[in-house]
Structure formats: structure tokens, C-alpha cells
Amino acid sequence: MPGGVNSPVRAFKAVGGDPVFIARGHGAYLDDVDGKTYLDFVGAWGPMILGHAHPAVIRAVSEAAGRGIAFGAPTEAENQLALAIREVMPAIEKVRLVNSGTEAVMSAIRLARAFTGRTHVIKFIGCYHGHADSLLVKAGSGVATLGLPDSPGVPAEVVRMTLPVAFNDPAAVSAAFAAHPNAIAAVLLEPVVGNAGVIPPAPGFLEQLRRICSEQGALLIFDEVMTGFRVARGGAQGRFGVQPDLTCLAKIVGGGVPCGAYGGRAEILGQIAPEGPVYQAGTMSGNPLATAAGLVTLAELGRPGVYERLEALGAALEAGLVEAARGAGVPLRVQRVGSMLTAFFTELPVTDWESARLADTERFARFHRAMLDRGVYLPPSQFESWFLSTAHTEAEIGRTVEAAGQAFRAI
């Protein structure tokens, strides 16, 4: 395997040392193959919002597998999951299930171009929307973590129609529309950036994008692969009260089993085959294991008080990290939305990729190793989000803060 891994950041190149090989997960914990246990804040990069091996999810997946792993034919569970999504995201009138976030975003862009008859797409520098060719332009996640340029193997002609602008800069968006009149099909963004570290939208930013897109005849696409069912039950669009035209989902929607979805206004989704001429298909789309895990996960998240508790845990971790860093004299800025956060090693506000990249990545690498030594498993990159789960407890947050205090003094 290239680098010994199947996804680049897992190789620990950005933080040093050997990657941890996992044997099993249980609740908020991971056990590695050497028998060491870690308190986990990666959560499979977001989907394990109920923790690892949640009994209800395991039971549902096991029962589904017993009935047959895949059919390549419609099932009742697909319709139930579509209805569960639509119930909490009113902007989604119709939805198509796919197998990953990359596939969801790629399909949504094709649909936006077909619906508008336009070619160009605005994306934001530092946002990562999967590894489709046209989106590997000034991307976040592993591209940012490893300091890679825009990827070789992507023809210049493919990315010519992708227009990167700074996050939280509505003037730059307006300027792009002015420079490309009647050519921009969509504005695509993570409504809360997670792939350059957590960067919240500035007050009014999402509303301004909604207005600009409506005035210009372009579609607004929210990539809620991370934020969907994470920052609120209705995702970022529910938390901030801004409705996109199209929404892309993955991670939590499949409960940890590979799954994605894209949806939006019925008149737009009506362009997808077989109702319309825009082709997209997938052998494993809506497979029984993913729909079973997703349905149970969304049901568990619908229990009273779940998001309030996640918010409280996130706030406690944020406050604890800030206080521990202050006590150790370490410059730190913690940015959080709900149960996702990033601890940036900088004193400056982080509002976009340019300000995020000023964080001290070498200090983060030392911090990561120090926390790993203390049994806390963090994302091996300064430019990724930490994720909490319902399996975390107040005591474990306290233990994490204590470990961080020791780590801050050690680095």
C-alpha cells in the first residue's frame, strides 16, 4: 500500500512516529494491536457520533446482514432512510443515496451544471470535498496536511472551471460572479469548514451566499458530509437557518458504514435519471447494511437531550483546553461548533485557510505525540476536526483536559 495506508493522513507523516494500528473500538475508546487503549477523538473522522460498536447499530447491521448483504434492487429501508433525512432537513425534498461523500459532491455538481446550463463552480480555499478531479484545487484535509500542491494527474482543463475564493469573504464571491457573468452554476462550501480545522462561518456569511446565489441564478450547495446530523440534528442548515438548494451528506447518515447522499429541491432532483437526463448510478447505493446503520443512528440522535449534551461536552472540552494552555503559557485558539472542534496552535483568529496555515504545525505534532503517550487519540493533523460522541462522559473530558495540561507543559 502506498505509504502503508489506504488514506494519506493515517500515515502520521504530519506528526511523526508510526501510525497506530487499531484492533477494536468500544464506546469512546480504541484498542491497538499492541494492547494499548486510547480515548478516541477521531471517531472514524466523524461518523461514530454514538461511539464505537454501539449495541443498537451492531444489532441492526447484524440482522440486516442475515437477510442478505446486497441486492442491487429497491428495499423498504432505503425509503425509510430518505424519509428520515427529509424529516429533519426541509431543504431536501428528494434524495439520492450513494456510497461516499466524494460521490455525493461529484454528483451534486453534475446536477447543478445540468440544471443551470452553466459550467463554473465556486469553491472555498481549504475546503475539501472529496478527491474528484475538479475539486482538488486549493483543497483541505490531507492535501493541506501534507502540504501538497494541486494534484498531479488532474488536467488543467478540468479545473479551469473551478473558482477558488477565500472563506468568509462574500466580496470575493461577488467578484467571481462579476468576472464570470452567467457562467457560474453553483457555490459549493462546507458551511462549517472542517477540513482546514474547524472554521465557523462569520455572522451573516451564509445568508449573504444565499442572497448572492438567488440573485445570480446559481445553486447554493452545502457539503454537510461532516456537519450533517453533527452540529445539530438538522445539520448546519438547521443550526444557522439557511437553506441550500442542494445538500451533500455522508459519515453519520450511514452510521459508520460507507454511505452518502445528495438531495434538494424536487425540481432539481427531478433531473436525475430515470426521471430526467442526468445520469448517476451505483451498484451498492442504498445497500442494506448502510441503511440499517443509518436508520438506527438517526433514531438514537432523535432522543431528547442528545444534542444539548453533546454541546455541553464540547463546551467543557473547549474551555478546559483553553485554560490548560493558558496555564502552561502555550498560545492556543480553540474553535468549536457543537461537538466538533480544533485546537489551533496560534493566538490569532482563524477565519479562513490563510489564517489557519499560520498555526504552529510542529508544535501540534509534538502535542499529538504527547497526547498519544497519555492515551488520547487525536487526528494526526493540525488541519482536521476533533469529534465527540455520545459515548464520551464528563469524566473523560476532564481526563483529556488533564492530559492536555501535561502535554502543553511537555512541549
CA dihedral 297, 301, 306, 307 (to 10 degrees): 110
Task: Return the domain boundaries, the chain.
Answer: 2-54+304-410, 56-301
C-beta separation of 232 from 338 below 8 A: yes
List of the chain residues with pLDDT < 50: 145-149
Report the alpha-carbon distance of residue 284 to residue 258 in Å, rounded. 10
Catalytic, 251? Answer: yes
Backbone angle region of 130, left / alpha / beta, with phi > 0 → left and psi within -120 to 50 → alpha: left
Fold of 56-301: Aspartate Aminotransferase; domain 2 (3.40.640)
Strands 260-264, 94-98: pairing is antiparallel
User: Which of the following is catalytic: 128, 262, 307, 377?
Assistant: 128
pLDDT at 92: 98
Which residue in the block uniquely carries the three cell numbers 432505503?
78
* Residue 128 annotated to the active site: yes
Q: 40, 223, 245, 352: which one is catalytic?
A: 223
How many residues can be counted in the chain? 411
d(CA 230, CA 221): 18
Helices (H) and strands (E) in the chain, counts: 14, 14
Give the CA dihedral 108, 114, 118, 119, nearest 10 degrees: 60
DSSP 280-313: ---TTTT-HHHHHHHHHHHHHHTSTTHHHHHHHH
Q: Report pLDDT digits (tens) over 89-140.
A: 999 999 999 999 999 999 999 999 999 999 999 999 989 998 877 777 766 5
CA dihedral 206, 208, 210, 216 (to 10 degrees): -150
Cell of 74: 429497491
Q: Is 352 a catalytic residue?
A: no
- Edge-to-edge strand ranges of the sheet holding 184-189: 94-98, 260-264, 246-250, 219-223, 184-189, 120-124, 162-165
Cα 106 to chain centroid distance, Å, stands at 15
C-alpha cell at 373: 503517550
Sign of CA dihedral 84, 186, 176, 243: negative
Contact 168, 355 (CB under 8 A): no
DSSP states along 104-159:
HHHHHHHHHHHHHT--EEEEETT----S-GGG-SS--THHHHTT--SPTTS-HHHH
Catalytic member of 138, 251, 262, 307: 251
Grid cell at residue 360: 504552529
Please identify, in words, the CATH class of the domain defined by 2-54+304-410.
alpha beta
Q: Report pLDDT for 147.
A: 47
Cα–Cα distance, 330 to 352 (Å, whole number): 22
pTM of the model: 0.94
What pLDDT shows up at residue 143?
A: 53
| β-strands 340-344, 333-337 pairing | antiparallel
Tell me which DSSP letter residue 223 carries.
Answer: E
Q: In 10 A of CB 361, how many CB atoms?
A: 17
Q: Are 350 and 197 in contact (CB under 8 A)?
A: yes
